[in-house]
A and B are shown apart, each in its own frame.
Chain A
């Protein structure tokens, strides 16, 4: 994309005064066109991104009953109340727990898959497409199917456990078990997607690096950790940030994992209620407290920013040396 933007048409010098105006127009065209080309995105972003963001903040400063006609200004009260709200922090821990349990194995598996797909396989394109298939299925369908698989009494997983003589697990009312079940859903869906992104980056690594390493006597494992992984760092950072944003906003999977009355709680003791679910519970049924829900939304935003920053710092430290700016900006 950058290349195209930089390829400006050469501006011919306009000798005569008659042609001056057309020259000015063409200069204007050169100056403004790029901005016009990108304007649609920013216009859409302003309407559907920036405006709701600011409006949500405005709402969060009010005692805003969804149906009420008066919305008295309460300043930071929603925020102070929220910071002391144990259910909110419980949801934060759930979200972070599910995030860690899902993202770490997911990226490791994606890396491993990408490495496999990068080898000379038969029907390579077929395999590469196949790993993306879970990603194109509807999240709702996935969540409902997994919700049934992980059923307490009629679920297939507990049936299999029973076959090998293990006790059934209360997947929906045990905190860690429900995190694992939801993580399985997330990983099933996103591992292939990340594998393809990592694969694309892997293919950009020059072959001669590996050849040189092979001549120096490095085996495949050594090559992987000393060449592939360091050169993939910018891409891994990208994957981690995207996974962070998605993971901390996790809603559909845990919401549809639970069925029955008030599934928005994520289990009787809020075992797998994520922050977005808590936001929804407050802003809509059964509380209809829009102000409080908006405050949850803003704290979630802050949380994502913090976790993303921590991720980037940790990843840069892991690779030794500073990461490339170009990669981080992707």
Chain B
């Protein structure tokens, strides 16, 4: 029994130390206003490619110090954390990145953010694609929450070596011609599967489903799960059903490797060359390079997406009201989202600019990606970007999308047949929207 008090003491000490650490951790980004240099915290996720730009900005503004948090984190970890900081009224950075799916939720409570229109942002409108600018505006158009960073023009990334093994063409133009439509993509997939290379044709049905949905919606009525008046239309929007049916055909043809997207198995599957194609928004190129590693350099290439265009993802930079250095933070956000800033980010990590000036710049149009066999990424992703039609996202878009994609996954894994899956998708989506 003599062990007990000592252990308890140790436990108390440990708990106290933890509590201290936690409180200290929460206190980050909260500094007293002084005359000395201002420290600006920037919160991002994934790969924004801002390192060089910070150096430039700090050189031009000696009174500003920039600290970045979150590069490499998953969006699924980042979004709840940012939301908690906003709800708690402290903890968020001075400049925060907001992904398009989360933006719609934040628009419902714009009071958490500085209205950039009050700080001269209106003059910048021409620096952004019109729909990207509008995506940062509240419904009444009176508050601008965020300035656009990147857009997610879509292509298909594929493995040349696996295509060669299956007796398919490997040159990107020839590959693009294999699949003018999604049905052709499925037919190509069937040929690939028949060749028994030991790899699947695509990574996960959910990724392809979301791509088809956003593309179809963009080309038709311009909305996916919610119509533009905010009604849930998951069961009545033909775009959703069309994307669903096409995806079911893919699953039925056995094209999917069933690697749940973003899971550890998915990452392993990249490394072990377990699938040949993946739906590839511009920002995905950085993800592929990170997951597949240097060993796969030059084995990947990029072809056109079946169907016509489409946009998946992209972010905005916003300044939370809780920031103690709003003026400086707004200046930094303007700099990072300027056409120069966007070109810098593209060069570093590949996110496609949302500024038409940047998209026309030779730095983008002439850009190639060595990892993807020198593919002209600037033209592949950039050409369609200016003609992209935006897809409206409703207030509970993220929760509804989660339900529908999980239903896709249950069919993919053979837990449900397509009809049961569809019923689940609709029922659960309605339930999620009501929460």
Contacts and interface: CB of A to CB of B under 8 A. Distances in A.
Interface in A285-311: 285-290, 292
B228 interface: no
B163 to A, nearest CB: 22
Interface in B352-408: 396, 398-399, 402, 405-406
Contacts of B3: 200
Nearest to A174: B415
Interface in A147-162: 147-148, 151-154
A268 B409 contact: yes
> Looking at A260, A284, A286, which has the most chain B CB atoms within 10 Å of its CB?
A286
A173 B415 contact: yes
Interface string A253-290: 00000111111010011000000000000101111111
Interface stretch (A62-70, A112-120, A179-187): A62-70
A262 B264 contact: no
Interface string B67-88: 0000000001001100110110
B261 A260 contact: yes
B86 A261 contact: no
B246 interface: no
Contacts of B406: 262, 265, 268-269
B83 A67 contact: yes
Contacts of A69: 109, 111
Contacts of B272: 154
Interface in B1-42: 1, 3, 5, 19
Interface string B165-206: 000000000000000000000000000000000000000001
B435 interface: yes
B79 A285 contact: yes
Give the contact-size bracket for chain B: 35 or more
Give the contact-size bracket for chain A: 35 or more
A67 B76 contact: no
B229 interface: no
Given A67-B86, A200-B3, A285-B79, A154 B265 contact: yes
A28 interface: no
A153 B265 contact: yes
B264 A151 contact: yes
A12 interface: no
A148 B435 contact: no
B405 A261 contact: yes
Nearest to A263: B76
Interface in A68-98: 68-69
Contact of B415 (A200, A262, A265, A269): A269
Contact of A260 (B79, B105, B266, B396): B266
19 contacts: A1-B5, A66-B84, A67-B83, A68-B108, A68-B109, A144-B264, A151-B265, A173-B415, A200-B1, A259-B265, A260-B261, A260-B263, A268-B413, A285-B79, A285-B83, A286-B396, A286-B399, A287-B399, A289-B435
